[in-house]
Structure 1
């Protein structure tokens, strides 16, 4: 059932949150990025929330919410469900405020993330691994709240959480001596975007706050287009810090009024941005943390000559995902291609393919023989990395002329999913 609300954070509540967070959340740097400023012919500044002690802005909302609990609520303890940044923010808040908390995480959560949460919460938290998905652990957390009368700490759909996240906006305005024309912010459930857009609406109404979602999880975009909070049946979960099926009701109501625009960015573009930030600026970001920067390409004309802030929301990236990040970036750039190749049953066929069919800069990155389908041909799945997208069509033409071409797999999602 749709929850109707007229809640909008007040300036007083946001400033009160900022006072509570003094000494808890870092006042993160707002620094010019030369690479992107030059590329887009404007003044690009990064708000480095990835440099918080928990490596994301989530400590702001979690601590502000938990520091507002009544003595009875503190005595009963709190519960949250998260496999990511929210869990770390809640865990640290539990330790700082000396509140006992239970954090539900899905059973497949990588051990590295579980250990991070334990490190921040120490003896004040208990971690429960429950279910195969976030929905499973979220359901179990809600049941514990009801059974033991504990307080559930929502990651975004909560007034105190929104007011805590809004303090990012206060800091930006206090750190600049010039007008800010655009702010780009990642949108997951909407906690940060709703708080941030409120600050700028009140204090700097000319600033356009642009919400950014991954293309595969356009929950806020869809909801604003439909003019009602809409749950998506399926989402791509790669940008895990900004992939929710339904945004918060409170958050939707605020973002619908205060965001100047909502845009989506392909996951492959996000991956290329992660690699660029690491290789050129030595900045490590998680996929959600790269969203705001990846969005600049889609606003290139509008931001020329402007002052632009990108919220770098987090850096809790799993190093085991590096290969997938590179793969998705190459696919997005149209440089990685998979084929079914038919090798004629004659001596030297493989050598002929490598020497005569492939170009001098084409690399084989995947090669896997399959079972023979007839007496004339062996069949292999071959992955190729090209130096330029323009090399693809001549390569396919040469394959066909020499009877090596079997099929092109990039545009066949039912098969392609097994390759990446």
Structure 2
């Protein structure tokens, strides 16, 4: 019977020596705001400060550096939602080899430009499919047809061992016993590596995986006891939205992960904004996952030593409005209605004076008189300063005769109108 693969301390230490030439020293820094909020010692492992702005350079360089001259001569291929692509691109440039990088067409433009910038003339970027999984299938097909080596983002021992060096540094830099470690999960390479190191060196540390609620691949696989492929996922948290986790990470995670928290995408957006406004830390959605999970562990971590891995900061500034919108919707501060206004002069003024609260604001208004009916529909977005004001807003609409339909809880109609 073949022995199961499990990253050894020797292999992780060897990986650290291999990748030292491309690593930026990332701090393990206490965060005062989070520590005060959760009455714990909360430390952030700032992988967003890597040269390629994510931890992915670790596994990518460790794998590529191991290839034979023959393999390097034929070139390499990878598929990525963004961060692995940048790690492969930078490694290719440093080692002077050619790489094809497949990325989903939905990848934020910032990540595409960064991959090209890091790889320069050594990389060719190919956009294919709507998800990482579709891009990956096309990349594997290319490898088979042209004899190139595929650099998997998470389902490879050398990738996992490279990512595990994050844990090695956390242990080296920590001055205390770590009680809880929160780790984002995409394909599972990071948590498999980090978790395997901690379970051998600090077995009492609780390893908490964190997935976006719209892409719970590892969680569902854990429940069923085997790797499953999700048919539909929310791709918003692009760095962690995969339909299928890796086989090797799954087997390792069964042994090392103590719990998995699913965080709604809206809460992730709230954390992105809070980190920027409170701490001037810029993170991508996947980079905020571990911190967003603290809310679900508030009671358990009180008085404890906690580490959150901030996995990356490759965020596209053009997504800011979407991030703010998702946050407001999740926090119950943004509400959309179809409101039938009486077609008479002063109807809108009546609505503003008698329905809106003193701190409410109309942020979206789309009205078109297309019929001769007595009441014309308008699509209206209203932002509150306190979610408790919602019931009063709805009550006043009814009392003043404004027929309305609430849209937030009708996702298909909501997406169509907005």
Partner residue, 1:332 = 330
Instruction: Work out which of the residue numbers 403, 407, 410 in structure 2 matches 1:409.
Output: 407
3-state secondary structure, aligned to 1:127: strand
TM-score, normalised with respect to structure 2: 0.97
3-state secondary structure, aligned to 1:189: coil
Partner residue, 1:228 = 226
- Residues 243/107 of structure 1: CA separation in 2 closer, same or farther (3 Å cut): closer
The offset of 1:21, in angstroms, is 1.1
Partner residue, 1:209 = 207
Partner residue, 2:164 = 166
Cα pair 2:133 2:242 within 8 Å, conserved: no
Partner residue, 1:18 = 16
Alignment of 1:125-136 (within 5 A): 125-136=123-134
Paired with 1:311 and 1:49, the residues of 2 have a C-alpha distance of 7
Alignment of 1:278-293 (within 5 A): 278-293=276-291
Instruction: Work out which of the residue numbers 111, 114, 128 in structure 2 matches 1:113.
Output: 111
3-state secondary structure, aligned to 1:283: coil
- Structure 2, gaps ≥5 residues long: none
The offset of 1:371, in angstroms, is 4.8
The offset of 1:140, in angstroms, is 2.4
Partner residue, 1:51 = 49
The offset of 1:365, in angstroms, is 0.5
Instruction: Work out which of the residue numbers 4, 16, 24 in structure 2 matches 1:6.
Output: 4
Alignment of 1:368-383 (within 5 A): 368-372=366-370, 375-383=373-381
Paired with 1:344 and 1:152, the residues of 2 have a C-alpha distance of 63
TM-score, normalised with respect to structure 1: 0.96
Figure out how many residues of one structure are paired with residues of the other and give that number: 417
Paired with 1:213 and 1:331, the residues of 2 have a C-alpha distance of 20
Paired with 1:359 and 1:111, the residues of 2 have a C-alpha distance of 40
Instruction: Work out which of the residue numbers 248, 251, 275 in structure 2 matches 1:250.
Output: 248
3-state secondary structure, aligned to 2:267: helix
The offset of 1:369, in angstroms, is 1.0
The offset of 1:263, in angstroms, is 0.9
- Residues 5/156 of structure 1: CA separation in 2 closer, same or farther (3 Å cut): farther
3-state secondary structure, aligned to 1:53: coil
Which range moved further: 206-215 or 21-30? 21-30
The offset of 1:370, in angstroms, is 4.2
Paired with 1:341 and 1:260, the residues of 2 have a C-alpha distance of 48
Instruction: Work out which of the residue numbers 58, 74, 78 in structure 2 matches 1:80.
Output: 78
Instruction: Work out which of the residue numbers 286, 301, 304 in structure 1 matches 2:302.
Output: 304
Cα pair 1:396 1:405 within 8 Å, conserved: no
The offset of 1:296, in angstroms, is 0.4
- Residues 150/85 of structure 1: CA separation in 2 closer, same or farther (3 Å cut): same
**Residues 1:146 and 2:130 aligned together:** no
Cα pair 1:274 1:285 within 8 Å, conserved: yes
For residues 164-207 of structure 1, give each alpha carbon's deviation from its aligned partner in whole angstroms, at most 9, with x where no partner exists.
Answer: 00000000000012100000010000010000000100000000
The offset of 1:102, in angstroms, is 1.1
Cα pair 1:48 1:312 within 8 Å, conserved: yes
Instruction: Work out which of the residue numbers 196, 199, 219 in structure 1 matches 2:197.
Output: 199
Paired with 1:328 and 1:390, the residues of 2 have a C-alpha distance of 18
Alignment of 1:332-351 (within 5 A): 332-351=330-349
Partner residue, 1:260 = 258
The offset of 1:257, in angstroms, is 1.1
The offset of 1:77, in angstroms, is 1.1
The offset of 1:395, in angstroms, is 1.1
Cα RMSD over matched residues?
A: 1.5
3-state secondary structure, aligned to 2:302: coil
Paired with 2:211 and 2:367, the residues of 1 have a C-alpha distance of 39
**Residues 1:367 and 2:377 aligned together:** no
